[in-house]
A and B are shown apart, each in its own frame.
Chain A
Amino acid sequence: MGIAGPTVSVDIPGLKLYDMVQVGKAGLTGEVVRLEQGRAVVQVYQDTRGLAANEPALGMNEPLTVQLGPGLLSGMFDGLQRPLDRLRNLSGPFITTGEAIFPLDRDRIWQFSPAKRPGDRVSAGDFLGALHEGAFRHPISAPCAGKIARLCDGEFSLGGELGEMADGRAIPAVQPWPVRRARPYRRKLSPTLPLVTGQRSIDFLFPLARGGTAIFPGGFGTGKTILEQSIAKFAAVDIVVYVGCGERGNEMAELLEEFVTLSDPWSGQPLMQRTIVVVNTSNMPVAAREASIYTAVTMAEYYRDLGYQVLLLADSISRWAEALREISASLEEMPGEEGYPTYLTSRLAAFFERAGVVETLDGRIGSLSMILSVSPPGGDFTEPVTQACLRTAGAFFMLDTSLAHRRHFPAINWFQSYSLYQADMVAHFNSQVSPRWGELQLRCQQLLQREETLREVAEIVGVEGLQDADRLVMRVAERIRQDFLCQNAFTDDAFSAPDQTLARIAELIGCYDRAETQLKQGVFLDELLKE
Chain B
Amino acid sequence: MRLSEHIYRTVSSIRGPLLFAQRVFAARIGEVVRISYPDGETAEGEILKIDGESVLIQVFGETRGLNLAATLVFTDAVKKAPLAEDVVGRVFNGSFLPIDGAPMFIPEQWAPITGAPINPTSRARPEEFIETGLTSIDLLNTLVKGQKLPIFSSAGLPAKEMTAAIVRQARLSGGGSFVVVFVALGLPHHEYSFYMDVLAGMQSDFVAFINRAGEPVMERLLAPRFGLAVAEYLAFTRGMDVLVVITDMTNYCDALREVSTAREELPGRRGYPGYMYSDLAALYERAGRIKGVAGSVTMLPVVTMPEDDITHPIPDLTGYITEGQIVLSRELHQKGVFPPVDVLPCLSRLMQRGIGKGRTREDHRAVADSLYKQYAKGRDLRRLEAIVGREGMVEKDRSMLDFADAFERELVHQGGERRNINASLDAGIALLRRFNSAAP
Contacts and interface: CB of A to CB of B under 8 A. Distances in A.
Contacts of A406: 376
A50 B320 contact: no
Contacts of A250: 123, 125-126, 146-147, 287-288, 323, 350
22 contacts: A2-B52, A49-B29, A51-B29, A52-B27, A53-B53, A93-B122, A93-B236, A219-B311, A221-B345, A221-B347, A254-B350, A282-B278, A283-B286, A286-B275, A329-B266, A329-B275, A339-B274, A378-B312, A405-B376, A407-B369, A462-B388, A463-B394
Interface string A1-23: 11111000100000000000000
B112 interface: yes
Closest 5 CB pairs of A and B: A378-B311, A282-B281, A253-B123, A283-B285, A93-B122
Contacts of A407: 369, 372-373, 376
B394 A378 contact: no
Nearest to B48: A4
Contacts of A283: 117, 278, 281-282, 284-286
Interface of A: 1-5, 9, 47-54, 76, 84-85, 87-88, 91-96, 219-221, 225, 244, 246, 248-254, 256-257, 279, 281-284, 286, 319, 322-323, 325-326, 329, 335, 338-339, 375, 377-380, 405-407, 459-464, 490
B316 A377 contact: yes
Contacts of B321: 248, 282
B291 interface: yes
Contacts of B353: 254
B112 A49 contact: yes
Given A48-B29, A254-B353, 10 more contacts: A9-B51, A52-B29, A94-B117, A249-B120, A256-B121, A323-B278, A326-B274, A339-B274, A460-B388, A462-B393
B319 interface: yes
Contact of A322 (B126, B277, B349, B373): B277
B278 A257 contact: no
Nearest to A257: B125
B49 interface: yes
Given A281-B120, A339-B274, A405-B344, A53 B285 contact: no
A69 B49 CA distance: 41
Contact of A221 (B31, B147, B324): B324
Contacts of A251: 323, 349
Contacts of B316: 220, 377-378
B163 interface: no
B28 interface: yes
Nearest to A462: B388
A343 to B, nearest CB: 16
A49 B323 contact: no
B325 A282 contact: no
A462 B245 CA distance: 47
Contacts of B384: 459, 462
A407 to B, nearest CB: 6
B221 to A, nearest CB: 14
Contacts of B167: none
B186 interface: no
Contacts of B277: 246, 282, 319, 322
Nearest to B318: A220
A405 to B, nearest CB: 5
B125 A281 contact: no
B106 interface: no
Given A283-B286, A335-B266, A460-B387, A220 B320 contact: yes
Interface in B264-292: 265-269, 274-275, 277-278, 281-282, 284-288, 290-291
Contact of A253 (B31, B120, B275): B120
Interface in B312-355: 312-313, 316-317, 319-321, 323-325, 344-345, 347, 349-350, 352-353
